[in-house]
A and B are shown apart, each in its own frame.
Chain A
Amino acid sequence: MAHKYGNIIVCNTRFYFGASSNARFHFAYMPEYSKPLLWGYYTDLSIPAIGSTVVDDGTTAGQLLVHEGPEYAGIIVAPVDCRVVGMAYSVWLYNPEDGAEKFRLGAMHCQFSDEQTRTDDATWKTLAYIDSSTLSGDEAGQVQKGSTTFSSTNGDIAAGELIGIVGQSFGSSDSANVGGMNGVVTLMLEVQ
């Protein structure tokens, strides 16, 4: 069955993300956990540029395995070929650290082959990301929102492929992070 070019698919997730280091990105716990919306898993790797990939770096801290896509980070499986064309967020930053600068929410293609060994090293590709507004100094708790649209083949994903959402904090030092944040992120896909 063919689907009309331009039809839109949307998925949302609520989340809590407690940034503890700017050197890592976080993603959700497994669904059976008592806090499945808590992005408590992380790896000491950074969200790469759109169209680029991040891989397990061979260290314990920088481990990224293929099972962590469907088990943890994944929020939508493309039912047909599509492209990430939009992201939007609305968050509450509880108490950003002095020197915290921003956060980034990334849409990652969690790549693997059907029946691949679950403990193989993973390769995740950034389909799109959105950065928050820039903070400066020691800002108080606040609410933030934003949206952006994309139109690039870097956001293309084939039917059956998994997309995960990850979050990363940025600041003037590793510990100058955005701290705890609650919110909602929405991903918009366009049928290709």
Chain B
Amino acid sequence: MSFKYGTTLTANVRFQASLAYNTRVYFPNDADLNNDAIEWDQYATGDIPAAGSNLSVSDTLYSREGPQYMGQFVAPVACRLVGIAYSVDLYNPDNASTNFRLGALKAVFSDGDAQDDAAVWTCLGYIDSTTMTGDPAGQVQKGSASFSSSNGDISAGEVVGVLAESFGSTTTDNIANIEGVVTMLFRVL
């Protein structure tokens, strides 16, 4: 069955994360975790890459961690990420923290791959928050971005999730506690 080119699909995620290190990317806990299944406590040491590039981490990231932790949406048909939007509460950003980034990444694996294969996560697109200066007070933020690039393409059956990363003047000048909603918009190819 074919679907009309240009039809859009959306996926929404509520989340809470404590972005304690600017050297890490954060993603959700196991769906089975007691009380905190939508908290983003899992992390890997690396940076959200440019759209079309793979996440590079200095620690271990397994293939199972795509469906186990990161995944939020599985493409039912081939589609392209064409938008991201967020609305968040920053409880008390650290002095000299500057911004956060939310990236949509796909976990690339073949059906039946071993669970302990190295993960391949490719960035489809990301959005940066408004830049802050000095010692920002607690605040709410919102934003949206749209894309139109084949870097955002995913095939039917591929899983997509969202990663969060904090930025600041040092690795510990971070965004800290963040709670909110992020929405991904896809277009059928």
- Which A residues contact B (CB, under 8 angstroms)? 6-8, 10, 12, 14-16, 34-38, 85-94, 133, 140-147, 149-151, 182-188
Contact = CB atoms under 8 A, between A and B. Distances in A.
Nearest to B9: A10
Contacts of B35: 34-35
A37 B75 contact: no
A188 to B, nearest CB: 4
Nearest to B116: A141
A76 to B, nearest CB: 12
Contacts of A85: 1, 3
B7 A147 contact: no
8 contacts: A7-B7, A133-B112, A142-B113, A143-B64, A143-B109, A145-B67, A147-B156, A188-B76
A149 B77 contact: yes
Given A37-B37, A90-B158, A151-B1, A143 B67 contact: yes
Contacts, number: 140
Nearest to B12: A12
B1 A150 contact: yes
A89 B74 contact: yes
Contact of A88 (B28, B64, B66, B75): B75
Interface string B152-189: 00001111000000000000000000000000000010
B11 interface: yes
A186 B109 contact: no
Contacts of A6: 4, 7
Nearest to B78: A147
Residue of B8, B63, B109 with most chain A CB atoms under a 10 A cut-off: B109
Interface residues of B, number: 43
Contacts of B75: 88, 147, 186
B71 interface: yes
A8 B28 CA distance: 27
Contacts of B188: 8
Interface of B: 1, 3-4, 7-11, 28, 30-35, 37, 63-64, 66-69, 71-77, 107, 109, 111-117, 156-159, 188
A68 B109 CA distance: 35
Contacts of B158: 90, 145
Given A8-B188, A141-B115, 19 more contacts: A8-B7, A14-B28, A16-B32, A85-B3, A88-B74, A90-B66, A90-B74, A92-B68, A94-B115, A133-B112, A142-B114, A143-B64, A143-B111, A143-B113, A147-B75, A147-B77, A184-B74, A188-B76, A188-B77
B67 A88 contact: no
Contacts of B112: 133, 142-144
Given A16-B31, A35-B33, A36-B37, A184 B115 contact: no
A14 B113 contact: no
A188 B75 CA distance: 9
Contacts of A38: 31-32
Contacts of A140: 114-115
Give the top 6 A-B pairs by smallest Cβ distance, nearest first.
A86-B76, A90-B159, A16-B32, A88-B74, A37-B31, A141-B115
A29 to B, nearest CB: 11
A161 B34 CA distance: 30
Contact of A149 (B1, B9, B73): B1
B31 A15 contact: yes
